[in-house]
Chains A and B, each alone.
Chain A
């Protein structure tokens, strides 16, 4: 019998998770401000010595193949771009969550980080290659955090994966989300949303976490972003990069077309770019030797 999660229980789990650092929180606030520029990002990173060191390590990692070493933070940040800086900051702060082995989904160690990174890249590419108005860096950040709730509820789902797949096949459950809700009383987007509230994440990102499988449910002002992440998530799973047994066991809502178009050739190009970018970014994060991802 699986243990159910209620509001009190999820708050207990959230309390056991480290808070985001002040610099990561500020970076996330900045990225949702449409008028922000790179100088603001440099300013925040400068206040955090650990983050500064990590940024310099990543930019000088073998994955970028630079001929001469970059020692100036300004140059490093403009070379890597906003999304990578945020990726480094969040990846480090929430390493305990991203690195968690998702036993409840029968996922392997590192699957959550790889899936989230791939979704981030795919969401950004969807924003770039469709005619959407979404800021690609915001799409990246929202994609990176979309599945964080899985790290919170995975243990409660231990031993359920085979049964869930059987029941989805026999249509007893309509998808993995309804299985989570039915078995433990909480699904992963809702768990992630509770964490987003505790971390005081910007509303745009919190909405993307909460509605990434049900984008039509998001507030109208955030729906375009949420649809972008919804597609990014599906593209990551189609690329074989899921978090275990639940991969591809969710519904794709084709109503993204009310916000932007993505022709078959554009989707194929998104998938190509995602493969290339993913290989490069994954190497740049792991080359620096501080992570076992």
Chain B
């Protein structure tokens, strides 16, 4: 069975049944998962930071790094699979965005990532139907293209579904 593994700032999509789309150890990063029931395509972007304004050059080289450039890049990728380029009809799920314990505002990157992603999705008229955000633990995410099932795992915890 094939797997598409996404690193930090990567995005990808698949419509091949039997394949998984997977990303390892989301700490403060957030994984945006788009499921398109019409074309049976699964897309995912591993977002590390809320805004691309801090490094424009990087956002051109690797748009998936940032919430504001990552989501448009993922939608453009999924359009190649016949999905609606504006995300119409897609199901959105979010996970990740953890924070370290007792942190101050500066270090709340997980929270800021999630907020920024929701803002961008809102501009497209999209909203998450399910989310597993925050807390203080890292998450590995696996999405089955065939069933759209999302499995989360973290060391020391039993796996769970989103």
Contact = CB atoms under 8 A, between A and B. Distances in A.
Contact of B27 (A248, A251, A262, A272): A248
Contacts of B103: 234, 252, 254
Given A165-B156, A165-B157, A248-B27, A238 B109 contact: yes
Contact of B106 (A241, A244, A249, A264): A264
Given A248-B137, A248-B138, A175 B101 contact: yes
A265 interface: yes
A262 B104 CA distance: 12
A251 B50 CA distance: 23
A238 B28 contact: yes
Contacts of B8: 239-240, 275
B155 A251 contact: no
Contacts of A241: 25, 27
A106 B156 CA distance: 6
B interface residue count range (under 10 / 10 to 19 / 20 to 34 / 35 or more): 35 or more
Most chain-A CB neighbours within 10 Å: which of B105, B136, B156? B156
A175 B138 CA distance: 16
Contacts of B48: 239, 271-272, 275
Interface string A183-200: 000000000000000000
A139 interface: no
A238 B100 contact: yes
B81 interface: no
Interface residues of A, number: 34
Most chain-B CB neighbours within 10 Å: which of A106, A252, A268, A269? A268
A247 B101 CA distance: 10
B49 interface: yes
B54 A265 contact: yes
Contacts of B98: 238, 248
B55 A248 contact: no
B7 to A, nearest CB: 8
Contacts of B136: 248-249
B54 to A, nearest CB: 5
Given A247-B27, A249-B101, A272 B156 contact: no
Contacts of A272: 48-49, 54-55, 58, 65
A271 B100 contact: no
Interface in A238-276: 238-242, 244-245, 247-252, 254, 262-265, 267-269, 271-272, 275
Interface of B: 8-9, 24-29, 48-51, 54-55, 58, 65, 98-107, 109-110, 112, 136-138, 154-157
Interface of A: 105-107, 161-162, 164-165, 175, 234, 237-242, 244-245, 247-252, 254, 262-265, 267-269, 271-272, 275
